[in-house]
Structure 1
Amino acid sequence: MTYISNLSHPSNLKRVAELYKVNIDKLKKYISEDYKTDPKYRFYKGTHMESHLYEGIQAGEFYDKLENVLESQKNAFKISIALGYDLISKDDDSFSQYWHPNIGNTAVFDNPVAINRKADIRKKLIPEICSMELADKLKYPSSGYKLRAITGFKIYIYHREHALGDSSAIIPKIIRDNKHVINFLMTSNKCVFHYIAYHTRSDPKKDYWIIQALVKEAFNRYCSYKGYSYSTKLFRNFKPIDLLQLDEMEDCFKLSISVYTMDVESGKIKCIRPSDKKYERLYILSHENHALYISNLDMLQSKYQCPKCEMIFVSSDKLKNHKKNQCELANIESYPAEPTICRPPQTTIKSMLTKYSIKNFDHYIDHFIVYDFEAILKPTGIQHGESTIFTNEHIPVSVSVADSLSGNVRCFVNAEPNDLLKDMFNYIEESDLFAVIGTENIKSVIKNPSYMCSATSDLKMLDISNYVPAGTSYEKYLSTYLGECECNDKIRCVCGLAKGLFPYEHIKSFDVLNPTSLPSKSDFNSDFRETTIGNAVYERVRFVWKHYEMKKVKDLLIWYNNLDVVPFINAIEAQRELFKRFDLDMFPDRVSLPGISEKVMYQTCFNELQHPSKVPAKAFRFSAKRMSGYKHQDVDAKPYSRYGFSRSSQ
């Protein structure tokens, strides 16, 4: 660090420019009073991650800015990208919305992508993004919007500690006992330089205990490449080499360095940093930030690859025979000998049961929670476009929650939608129905564009309308799985199978729920549906008001809302039993009725498949006259066949 009191002096400017190796004109620009940072760019740096936010940019700037950020990284990292975009109304071009980049909703990748070398940026990351249809990654509030442009993005950089030095990790026995792996002890964080010195040593014996002088030569060469001045202090205090710095090591020593890891339990080898440079190859084994030298990769992997056609052999003898007699560098396409049945993937629970051969186990999820919101219709009269008027706005005013474990039901009424949600989830948490978790890893399934499912690793929120045919009403759903109401007196029915009644269009504000008298018969009419209720129906409303001792219109709303969830649980359980016959759990297996139907199809379409019969065909006879004619033709043809022409050509 250098302290300079007057940076405006030309000599001081020159000194700082030389110290930090920057252009003096560029330095003047950044320290001038008129200079301002890019208003479209915001940067945040934390302990283990950093983020770069760009907003209001053109489409062509995305890849340039992304590459600039990634190229500035010095150590190995993982990256996630979220998109920001403008939506425009299909009815009114002047009405638009901007959605800020959010890793939970508009992530380009499902999981962060690891970058272990600079070449991964241009050859792996950017080509993968280019091949995507980024518009499919976006969320829409409703089907009335379309995409105008992607105008922003946010880059999340997660720092990784993958330096190759003197780690305190204990090397497992499976690695220590392998004669194809060499471990240099006490290298003072310069194990990579030890392996380079050992690998490039011309001595055929290669005694890896007597190479300290070669290590210093290699380190001196690297310092010259980086522009450092070699010193004993620098050599002793040198920090470990990070995976991303191996790019510089390759160019400095003209070596192609590939890094591998070993699964201690299975002994399998995996390449985490391949190298495509055309230098002499050097292989390193990384174990918990400690590097080891691989003397023979083929022997370590127990796999022998032909350098010409890339075929894999299990022994060196088979590889030699192949290279000597058979290698022709031909693309060989293989097909299964027997036809296989395509089957959809199993759920996590069923795959675990299959993996560990567990049978006769109840894998069904026992309990679930149902909820239903009711809303008031607030008049708006907002003109939206030339031909559309928003007459009312739906504002959530109540929610009923019931669970299949206890069968209890609870209804909350609140004028503020946010407070309504808080009441709902506080009740769920206090009742120990499940642990309310965060939304950092939330995923959504969107179609048309509506939310079919929102889920985390421990919670899934579904819409029952996706499990029934289109246009099915709640009343029809209950009658299908629970049957019709069998009460003789429909007016005084309390079985709970019938749909409730509520004056929707009469409730214009939250204050209308406070009156202590039953709304009039005309208040239950619907101008939207152009329907009116009869005397018998209104008589039932009067019975409900008196039977349940209602004091306010709010009590009628609670009764109506609870009727939408109490019988709902029984109907869902009946529908789940239908799919249990096919060994399917309706909610975990799929998020819609077509998805469940597809799984049923794969289970049943091959049950009555008839294989071709292997019974020999019936024998038949040539007629004697035709057989005689064939014999005469053969006799006549023999004299001419020796001369290579037929009688017709003669």
Structure 2
Amino acid sequence: MLIPIHHSNFEKLTWTQRHDPISVSICSNVEGFTDPHCIVEPEVETLVRLMGEYMSRIGDKRYQLAQDKFADAFSQLDKDIQNPMRSLLEDDFEDVYKLDAFLDDEELQDHVEKEKNIFKKLDAYCRQTVVLRFNSAKYDMNLVKSHLAKQLGMHGSGKKITLKRNNSYACLANESFKFLDVASYLAPGVCYAKFLKAFDVSENKGFFPYEWFDGVGKLNHPTLPSHDAFYSSLKESNISAEDYAFWRVKNMSSFQDFLDWCNNLDVGPFVQAVENLQKCYFDSDIDIFKSSISVPGLARRMLFDTGRQAGASFALFDEVNSDLYHTIKQNSTGGPSITF
């Protein structure tokens, strides 16, 4: 919703409108939540709370499905933790006596801790739900960041992650949710319409009278505003007469119906396109949204995977030779350059 501003002008800057969030649509590929769900609420804190509650329902269902999918792995890890000697013997049938004779309590405890760590990582992987947006790291996230941080409990204890590049939020995460921007996995400048087209989704983004919708009361408007109200001074263009007739085709009775339709049109095709994007990496055994937050992270993951398959060895400096790291880093620092 764009609220007109009349008294915030400066010598070199003129504010014309303020963007207040009033609605959000949520859609997923989780069983029972595949239909778009639109929430309309003029109070931002309440809007974010309702969004969080609905996403938590999706997250709980997804966690349950993930636990069922990895039930064998959870069961095996639990057995190994309860009986560590059993798992070690399964790995080395011929050295039963050697294990019994030479494996001390400390080594056994180390093995148990490793198994527990794997169990925790698998549980965290299943528990955390990825929340995707398109090109909102610089814009939409900034509109609700303070309310979202409160909803996610970012000020409390536990593992929290906030990655920010200048004014752009690349990642916001806690144990339950991980907010990412799909635009970070695409070439620069790719718009939403091109993203859908690139991944074989035919539906396109809707249209909306942004400059006309400047008050909550207009949600109850019984008809669409005039065709002229859809003119965008930013794009210097208007919608077609065919698009304008959509109101009658969909049998809408209020402007809120139109708002719901526009929001849902954004998220439904988006889910399908994201699934097609993921499939591009499944053959490489990469879950892109769990493995990274952007294209460079994916490239690094694929580099190390390829190197490991080729038998390459990647070594790090140990504590004894830690001075080499600092020496190389200092000598690699660049400086001013003059070319004649």
TM-score range, shorter-chain basis? Answer: 0.5 to 0.7
Cα distance in 1 for partners of 2:261, 2:247 equals 10
Cα distance in 2 for partners of 1:580, 1:546 equals 43
Deviation string, structure 1 residues 305-361 (Cα, Å, up to 9, x no partner): xxxxxxxxxxxxxxxxxxxxxxxxxxxxxxxxxxxxxxxxxxxxxxxxxxxxxxxxx
1:478 aligns with 2:196: yes
Checking the alignment, whether the CA contact within 8 Å between 1:505 and 1:523 is kept in structure 2 is: yes
* Counterpart secondary structure, 1:399: strand
* CA-CA distance at 1:384 after TM superposition: 5.7
* CA-CA distance at 1:471 after TM superposition: 1.7
Q: Match for residue 295 of structure 1?
A: none
Q: Match for residue 451 of structure 1?
A: 169
Q: Match for residue 411 of structure 1?
A: 38
Deviation string, structure 1 residues 201-257 (Cα, Å, up to 9, x no partner): xxxxxxxxxxxxxxxxxxxxxxxxxxxxxxxxxxxxxxxxxxxxxxxxxxxxxxxxx
Deviation string, structure 1 residues 71-91 (Cα, Å, up to 9, x no partner): xxxxxxxxxxxxxxxxxxxxx
* CA-CA distance at 1:437 after TM superposition: 6.5
Cα distance in 1 for partners of 2:152, 2:2 equals 32
The residue type paired with residue 13 of structure 2 is T
Q: 2:251 aligns with which of 549, 569, 582?
A: 549
Q: Match for residue 282 of structure 2?
A: 580
Distance 1:418 1:458, change over 3 A: closer
Q: Match for residue 55 of structure 2?
A: 428
Q: Match for residue 273 of structure 2?
A: 571
Cα distance in 1 for partners of 2:302, 2:56 equals 36
Q: Match for residue 14 of structure 2?
A: 389
* CA-CA distance at 1:474 after TM superposition: 0.9
The residue type paired with residue 193 of structure 2 is E
Q: Match for residue 460 of structure 1?
A: 178
Distance 1:546 1:387, change over 3 A: same
Cα distance in 1 for partners of 2:51, 2:276 equals 26
Q: Which has the higher strand share?
A: 1
Distance 1:532 1:438, change over 3 A: closer
Cα distance in 2 for partners of 1:605, 1:380 equals 57
* Counterpart secondary structure, 1:446: strand
List aligned pairs for 1:68-83, cutoff 5 A.
Answer: none
Q: Match for residue 499 of structure 1?
A: 205
* CA-CA distance at 1:580 after TM superposition: 1.7
1:401 aligns with 2:26: yes
Cα distance in 2 for partners of 1:579, 1:417 equals 37
Q: Which has the higher helix share?
A: 2
Runs (5+) with no aligned partner, structure 2: 64-126, 128-150, 312-340
* CA-CA distance at 1:607 after TM superposition: 8.1
The residue type paired with residue 422 of structure 1 is R
Give me the CA root mean square deviation: 2.5
* CA-CA distance at 1:608 after TM superposition: 9.1
The residue type paired with residue 187 of structure 2 is P
* Counterpart secondary structure, 1:527: coil
After TM superposition, the score normalised by the length of structure 1 is: 0.32
Q: Match for residue 378 of structure 1?
A: 3
Cα distance in 1 for partners of 2:181, 2:164 equals 12
Cα distance in 2 for partners of 1:599, 1:428 equals 29
When the two structures are aligned, how many residues end up with a matched partner? 218
1:589 aligns with 2:214: no
* CA-CA distance at 1:604 after TM superposition: 4.6
Q: Return the index of the structure with the highest Cα Rg.
A: 1
Runs (5+) with no aligned partner, structure 1: 1-375, 486-496, 610-650
Percent of pairs identical after alignment? 31
Checking the alignment, whether the CA contact within 8 Å between 1:378 and 1:393 is kept in structure 2 is: yes
Cα distance in 2 for partners of 1:382, 1:471 equals 34
* CA-CA distance at 1:396 after TM superposition: 0.3
After TM superposition, the score normalised by the length of structure 2 is: 0.59
Q: Match for residue 242 of structure 2?
A: 539
Q: Match for residue 559 of structure 1?
A: 261
